[in-house]
Structure 1
Amino acid sequence: MTHARPRRRARRILALLAATVTLLAMPLAGTASAHGSVIDPASRNYGCWERWGHDFQNPAMQQQDPMCWQAWQDNPNAMWNWNGLYRDNVGGNHQAAVPNGQLCSGGHAEGGRYRSMDTPGAWKTTNLGSTFSINLYDQARHGADYIRVYITRQGYNATTTPLGWNHLELVRETPRYAPAETYMITGLNKGSRTGRHVVYTVWKASHMDQTYYICSDVNFS
């Protein structure tokens, strides 16, 4: 009887240690809770999270969705934090803050967490018609000083070439939005573009000097 109590205490300590190790090993899913992104047409990292967040260890991802697979291998938190791809204190000088080839990662924002978003390849696309809308989800209700929507020029190949500012054409700059959960930008026109393109969204939040840089892969029918 004299040894039973210490043994029970040791088992409790071991159970607590095992639970702690399990929690530390889990992805930081809870961190994706404070900012926002374009959810339709889905941004690269939101799309990967939407398709694979519940099944991110499935080896089938490598064959079925290779661009998401390389992103999960590089840094899973780029997807768990799908709404945190932003830079502070840009001062409106976006081209200086975000170099060519790094547009989809916001210039290697957050210490390079999102660098896999810059990798050219066959990212999953959203099919769009001649006119289309953008649904930007502002989870934290930051508001927007403006939202700029660009589309890649005809002839740009997203499967082989990292995105640069020279590949983009500005098609819309919105006025200011009061804080809300979603912003719908309607009546966007693809022009003469056909096939695979990137819709690039620059969202300047209103709560501080904070700017989001968002790549959405699309296919214009």
Structure 2
Amino acid sequence: MKKSTQPSLCKLLLPILLVIASFESFAHGSMIVPESRVYNCYLNNPENPLDPACAAAKEVAGTQAFYDWNGINQSGANGNHRDVVPDGQLCAGGQAKFAGLDLARSDWEATPLVPKADGTFDFEFIATAAHATRDWIFFVTREDYVPTAPLNWDDLVEFCRLGSVPLSANSRYILNCPLPQLSGKHVVYTTWQRSDSAEAFYTCTDVVLSNSATSNGWTDEGPLVAQTGLIQNNSITLRLFNQAGNDVESVQHTVLNTALTPVDWAYAFAQTVNSQSQYARIGVLDPNTGQITPIRSSHTNRIYTRSSLSLSYEVDIRIIGDRINLKQ
């Protein structure tokens, strides 16, 4: 009987399965509300970051870390996080590829955290691959932490611990935690330990805390990131939608007489929205007063919507008949 020279189905499938397994063991997630340090850099034009801290991180370790924002992990942690992630390498999760995230700088972009009426905050972690969970542990830097020094384990204090949390329909883990009674700029450090594996994931998130924080009814929807200049007759439009997907409001800013840099149009657009919109504001939230004020920046201003309405949004840029969708 002649032996077949065709490869077996098992041999054909093995390389495919290995590729799938490799991919799934890599891509898992990161904090997006508030944005983790790595996710913020990913949103901030990875090839040419406008944010100074992200630009410095790129100089240290290149751009690949930003594209791999969902893979800061250690495969053999098994809850022994201090053993697998050395001091000074916490934001990188002990991985050289993410070393730029460990830079000791005071200018990492930070998100003001506004607690709910009960003093808690809903952290949102997006899962590009969901896993069975042993625990989530949240740490925050101590009151006397100096941001220009390397981040070590002894700089952190635990403030929240959760077990298995269900995954929402849009692939988010909503992690409700009481906010620590601290003020000023801090780093929130999160560990996510799987229960079906020894693998764990690590996240550094820069935040601003305030004991008297108030949102005045606004929900932080994320940053307004301006990456390219605009010329005369280009326009930027903020569109708001209700939970049914119906249009609620549209505010447009048109470039009239001269070309605008990303910083210029982001600032002008924020001013237009704040003067015309009933349901949205763009700017930087003062956690003590709840006021939202735009600043001259291409990436620091954030979009806020009325909390009571549960709105979603989209920012459209029209460039001579073309439209660039920034967020939906």
Identify unmatched segments of 5+ residues in structure 2.
1-22, 211-328
What is the rounded CA distance, in whole Å, between the counterparts of 1:202 and 1:220 in structure 2?
Answer: 20
Which residue type is aligned with residue 162 of structure 1? Answer: P
1:71 positional shift: 1.6
Which residue type is aligned with residue 173 of structure 2? Answer: Y
What is the rounded CA distance, in whole Å, between the counterparts of 2:177 and 2:77 in structure 1?
Answer: 29
User: Does the aligned pair in 1 maintain the 2:137–2:161 contact within 8 Å?
Assistant: yes
Q: Which residue of 2 aligns with 1:164?
A: 152
Matched, 1:57 2:48: yes
Q: Which residue of 2 aligns with 1:47?
A: 40
Larger Rg: 2
What is the rounded CA distance, in whole Å, between the counterparts of 1:78 and 1:186 in structure 2?
Answer: 28
Matched, 1:115 2:103: no
Matched, 1:182 2:172: yes
Matched, 1:82 2:75: no
Q: Which residue of 2 aligns with 1:69?
A: 55
User: Does the aligned pair in 2 maintain the 1:142–1:179 contact within 8 Å?
Assistant: no
What is the rounded CA distance, in whole Å, between the counterparts of 2:158 and 2:180 in structure 1?
Answer: 11
What is the rounded CA distance, in whole Å, between the counterparts of 1:67 and 1:214 in structure 2?
Answer: 17
- Can you list the C-alpha shifts for 1:149-172, whole angstroms capped at 9, x where unaligned? 0111101122x1111111111111
Which residue type is aligned with residue 210 of structure 1? Answer: E
1:179 positional shift: 5.3
User: Does the aligned pair in 1 maintain the 2:78–2:193 contact within 8 Å?
Assistant: no
Moved beyond 4 Å, runs of 4+: none
1:207 positional shift: 4.1
Matched, 1:144 2:133: yes
**Partner-residue secondary structure (3-state), 2:91:** helix
Which residue type is aligned with residue 116 of structure 1? Answer: G
Q: Which residue of 1 aligns with 2:113?
A: 128
RMSD (Å), alpha carbons: 2.0
Structure with greater contact order relative to length (CA < 8 Å, sep ≥ 6): 1
1:91 positional shift: 2.3
What is the rounded CA distance, in whole Å, between the counterparts of 1:178 and 1:104 in structure 2?
Answer: 25
Q: Which residue of 1 aligns with 2:304?
A: none
User: Does the aligned pair in 2 maintain the 1:125–1:219 contact within 8 Å?
Assistant: yes
1:173 positional shift: 1.0
1:116 positional shift: 0.8
- Can you list the C-alpha shifts for 1:98-148, whole angstroms capped at 9, x where unaligned? 1111111111x2xx1001111111100001135422111111112321100
1:72 positional shift: 2.0
Which residue type is aligned with residue 165 of structure 1? Answer: W
**Partner-residue secondary structure (3-state), 1:68:** helix
Q: Which residue of 1 aligns with 2:84?
A: 97
Q: Which has the higher helix share?
A: 1
What is the rounded CA distance, in whole Å, between the counterparts of 2:150 and 2:68 in structure 1?
Answer: 22
Q: Which residue of 2 aligns with 1:203?
A: 192
Greater shift after overlay, 208-217 or 176-185?
176-185
Q: TM-score, normalised by structure 1?
A: 0.75
What is the rounded CA distance, in whole Å, between the counterparts of 2:84 and 2:48 in structure 1?
Answer: 34
Q: 2:28 aligns with which of 20, 25, 35?
A: 35
Q: Which residue of 1 aligns with 2:269?
A: none
Percent identical residues: 32
What is the rounded CA distance, in whole Å, between the counterparts of 2:146 and 2:122 in structure 1?
Answer: 23
User: Does the aligned pair in 1 maintain the 2:167–2:173 contact within 8 Å?
Assistant: no
What is the rounded CA distance, in whole Å, between the counterparts of 1:207 and 1:44 in structure 2?
Answer: 27
Which residue type is aligned with residue 77 of structure 1? Answer: Q
Q: Which has the higher strand share?
A: 2
What is the rounded CA distance, in whole Å, between the counterparts of 2:70 and 2:128 in structure 1?
Answer: 8
**Partner-residue secondary structure (3-state), 1:105:** coil
Q: TM-score, normalised by structure 2?
A: 0.51
